[in-house]
Amino acid sequence: MNIEISEFIEGARNSRGLTVIIDVFRAFSVECYAIDSGAVKIITAGEVADAFELKKKYPKAVLVGERDEKKIKGFDFGNSPTEIIKADLSGKTVIHTTTAGTNGIANASDADSIITGSFVNATAVAKYIRETGPSCVSLIAMGYRAHKSAEEDLLCAEYLEALIRDRTLDIRPRIANLRETSGRRFFRPENIEFSPPTDFFLCTMLNRFNFILKAQKRFDGNFDMEKIDI
């Protein structure tokens, strides 16, 4: 199995085979928590305008997402797992758009299939890949705002590769160190309203969920996220 790690929108555009779009802080952690909070459907949109158009089709849906890390005006929730775990999403459709993660999905047009990746379901992702047995796997670390390398996404990619190859890799000390690097923003007082410290801890809980999310392209160009139990 050939496994390649790349970054950003360009990496998504160049991805081949089974593609894992990785966004630890916070898009694909949020989607896992949304499913755990009762959401029955998640639709990802690359652009804010697409999300509002989807809302017209699904008026009872919940809008979740961010630009510049902050909740978008007119949305119900920001891209924060702390907000999501407090919400009752039972039976709800979630429409989700973010700067990096959902745009990665939208741009992976040459991938054979697309799933999402984060720490909270990494073992499930790796197991799915091993069981599927693709000849080519693209691990795409979307990075901070899709243009700056993010330690957490690259570490998740490294961890996934180790798990896929059935190698032992203890990343817990390096996850803890993220608090002093790319995760510092969650501990800045000026960010607490939209990026609280609890987001850091929720996003770095290893293997909390035993399911993956697989992107299925819709007729309107957006993506339905299919939950697959592992």
pLDDT digits (tens, 9 = 90+) for 124-139: 999 999 999 999 999 9
Q: Are 39 and 77 in contact (CB under 8 A)?
A: no
pLDDT at 144: 95
Q: Which helix (H) or strand (E) holds 38?
A: none
Instruction: Centre a 10 Å sphere on the Cβ of residue 130 and count the other Cβ atoms it contains.
Output: 14
User: Taking a C-beta distance cutoff of 8 angstroms, is the pair 145, 134 a contact?
Assistant: no
pLDDT tens, residue by residue, 10-53:
999 999 999 999 999 999 999 999 999 999 999 999 999 999 99
Mean pLDDT of 195-212: 98
pLDDT score of 165: 97
Kindly state the average pLDDT of the residues 148-158. 98
Looking at residue 175, its pLDDT comes to 98
Rounded to the nearest integer, the mean pLDDT of the chain is 97
Mean pLDDT in residue range 83-108: 97
Bridge partners (DSSP) of residue 228 are: 212
Give the integer Cα–Cα distance in Å for 131 and 119: 19
- Residue 110: per-residue pLDDT: 97
Domains annotated on the chain, with CATH: 2-218 (3.90.1560.10)
In this structure, the number of other CB atoms found within 10 A of the CB of residue 141 comes to 27
Q: Are the beta carbons of 141 and 161 closer than 8 angstroms? A: no
Q: What count of Cα atoms within 13 Å lies in the side-chain half-sphere of residue 16?
A: 6
Choose among 162, 174, 151: nearest CA to 123. 162
Identity (one letter) of the amino acid at 132?
A: T
| Closest C-alpha among 221, 53, 81 to residue 64 | 81
How many Å is the Cα radius of gyration of the chain?
Answer: 16
Q: What pLDDT score does 190 carry?
A: 96
Name the amino acid, one letter, at 6.
S
